[in-house]
Amino acid sequence: MNESSLLKALIESLRCLPGVGARTAQRMAFHLLENDRRSGERLAEVMGRAMREIKQCSRCRTLTEHDTCRICANPARQATLLCVVEHPSDVVAVEQATGYRGYYFVLGGRLSPLDGIGPEDIGLDLLEARLDEGEVQELILATNPTVEGEVTAHYISELAAKRNIPASRIAHGVPMGSELEYVDSGTLSHAFEGRRKYS
């Protein structure tokens, strides 16, 4: 061991970041220590707070440090529209790409019986309660176009059907097998506009 053990620990810890291997982690550590300690200290502090304080919105399950997120807390949005997505990052993607002004519901995953992920693990009890409130008049299913995402969308469409709430599925242009988060804005916007009634 020729390096400082704290430096080694920093390099090792940085590898928890997606896409960061040993070499990149080392470059990041030296960069912060040699050139930018203030930013490193600020990042450490913000990251610690974020990990401890950010939780799920009590209404839509997206990430927020408040009880309800900014979107749920905004009474100017259209309460008749509810868009169901898998991840908090999908909310960001839809907000940036489309003119959608309804509310969201974030599953935090998808049904996957083989992995033991059932309806309550993705908050469907909370979603049912939301649908029972009676305000939602269209449920937009924007789960990822993967096999499990489709199965999840289908399952949710039946929860809507039971309550006579029309469900639609975003459709055109989203390539099968891809993740919503990485689709370009134009495609996603088009898919939103071209949504069709779930049948």
Please report how close the Cβ of residue 78 comes to a second copy at its closest, in angstroms. 15
64 binds a second copy (CB under 8 A): yes
**Cβ nearer to a second copy, comparing 3 with 158:** 3
The answer to whether 125 contacts a second copy (rule: CB under 8 A) is: no
Nearer to a second copy, 58 or 196 (CB): 58
Options 70, 101, 162, 172; binder of a second copy; rule CB under 8 A: 70
d(CA 99, CA 93): 11
Radius of gyration of the chain (CA): 20
* Longest Cα separation, the chain: 68
- Residue from the set 21, 22, 45, 177 that interacts with a second copy by CB under 8 A: 45
Apex 85 CA angle, 17 and 121, nearest 5:
80
Shortest distance, position 165 Cβ to Zn ion, whole Å: 19
- Token code pair at residue 20: 């960061």
> If binding is defined by CB under 8 A, does position 26 make contact with a second copy?
yes
DSSP 8-state code for residue 175: P
Q: How many CB atoms lie within 10 A of CB 26?
A: 18
59 binds, among Zn ion, a second copy, none (CB under 5 to 8 A by kind): Zn ion
Helix 22-35 vs helix 37-53: angle between axes, to the nearest 10 degrees? 120
Angstrom distance (rounded) from CA 137 to CA 168: 11
Distance CA(124)–CA(118), nearest Å, equals 9
Q: Which of residues 93-112 bind a second copy (CB under 8 A)?
A: 95, 108
Site residues for a second copy, 74-93, by CB under 8 A, read: 87-89, 91-92
Length, in residues, of the chain: 199
- Interaction pattern, residues 68-87, with Zn ion; x per rule: CB under 5 A: -x--x---------------
Smallest gap from residue 62 Cβ to a second copy (A):
8
Q: Are 105 and 130 in contact (CB under 8 A)?
A: yes
* Residues at the contact surface with Zn ion, assessed by CB under 5 A: 57, 59-60, 69, 72
* Residues at the contact surface with a second copy, assessed by CB under 8 A: 1-7, 9-10, 13-14, 16-19, 24, 26-34, 36-37, 39-54, 63-66, 69-71, 87-89, 91-92, 95, 108, 181
